[in-house]
Amino acid sequence: MVAIRLAQTSDLPAVSALDARLTGTAKPDYWQSMLNVPERHFLVAESEKGELAGFIAGEVRAWEFGQPAAGWVFAIQIDPKLRLKGVGTRLFEALVARFKDKGVTRVRTLVDRRDHLILSFFRAQGMVAGPSLQLDMDVA
Amino acid sequence: MKLQTGTRLGLYAALELAREPERTLSASDLADRFGVSAHHMAKVLRNLANAGLVRGGRGASGGYRFTGNRKRTTLMDIVALFEPAPGSRPKEPGEQTDIGSALQRVLTEIDEIAEATLRSVSLETMLKAKR
């Protein structure tokens, strides 16, 4: 069983380390900035032993890309040894509850289409393809 | 997106059987449900059985039941049993031209999005969405 709570400065080393381990890129400044912006919702899941089990971050944004207010999920990571125990679902549901408290009726995220694990997770939560299509261009 | 009839039947049969894994249904039962011949459905079920997703059935009256993992089996796993693998398709006339290859890049982009979608939806997610 895990407890879901707001992230604190003391969580940042563990958050940054988990993210770096899973993505291969350390970005401590980015996670620090998550805490610095009051509008951001940054939640952690803590195991009974007090260890970081996972985290989720998002924000309500209006008129990004012409779309009315929606809760954007920026990031979610779960410790691999604690996966398939509902930790991700608990974090997602907690974030959605906070979005709903802010009055939004839509949740949105952006996923690498080759990342089948995270795509499957969001699908299992009930998310489906939205109205937008992401476009990229290499300008190197 | 257009799926071949066999693919669609494979998805129907797998989902119908996965809905209640303890229940057995014959090829005839499933064929009646989805409006096709028992012969066609039996062929589809043999393909699913070879992949370990269903078990059972001898002849049109034999019962099949789901033996796969609902959480781990995706729509793409089933589609891949019936459709040619992406990239294994023979080259079409004109594909080597600049216009042909530009068109192929767009078609590949569409295929990749379709594949990502099919790969992200498990049977469990599909069945949950139906309730």
* Residue A59 · residue A39 · CB < 8 Å: yes
CATH code, domain carrying A48: 3.40.630.30
CATH code, domain carrying B87: 1.10.10.10
- CB of B124 within 8 Å of a chain A CB? The answer is yes
Look up the domain containing B39 and give its range. Answer: 5-130
Lookup: tokens for B54: 């269903």
A131 within domain boundaries: no
Look up the domain containing A49 and give its range. Answer: 3-124
A138 within domain boundaries: no
pLDDT in tens, A108-140: 999 999 999 999 999 999 999 988 888 999 999
pLDDT averaged over chain A?
94
| Interface contact A119-B113, CB threshold 8 A | no
The CA distance from A96 to A107, in Å, is 7
Provide the domain count of chain A: 1
Write the ipTM: 0.77
Residues of A in contact with B119 (CB under 8 A): 116, 119-120
A100 vs chain B: nearest CA distance in angstroms? 21
In sequence order, the 6+-apart residues with CB closer than 8 A to the CB of B106 are none
A29 vs chain B: nearest CA distance in angstroms? 31
The CA distance from B60 to B42, in Å, is 7
A129 within domain boundaries: no
Residues of A in contact with B121 (CB under 8 A): 120, 123
The CA distance from A58 to A99, in Å, is 9
- Helix ranges, chain B (H): 5-19, 27-34, 38-50, 75-82, 98-120, 123-130
* Maximum mean pLDDT: which of A33-37, A62-66, A70-74: A70-74
A135 within domain boundaries: no
Residue B61 has pLDDT above 70, yes or no: no
pLDDT mean over B106-125: 92
pLDDT at position A3 is 96
| Interface contact B128-A120, CB threshold 8 A | no
pTM of the model: 0.86
A130 within domain boundaries: no
What count of CB pairs under 8 Å joins A to B?
Answer: 28
pLDDT at position A84 is 84
A97 within domain boundaries: yes
A11 within domain boundaries: yes
pLDDT in tens, B78-94: 999 999 876 677 788 99
Q: Which B positions 11-70 lie with beta carbon below 8 A of chain A?
A: none
A53 within domain boundaries: yes
A95 vs chain B: nearest CA distance in angstroms? 21
pLDDT at position B86 is 67
DSSP-derived 3-state class of residue A6 = strand
Provide the domain count of chain B: 1
Residue B59 has pLDDT above 60, yes or no: no
* Residue B66 · residue B25 · CB < 8 Å: no
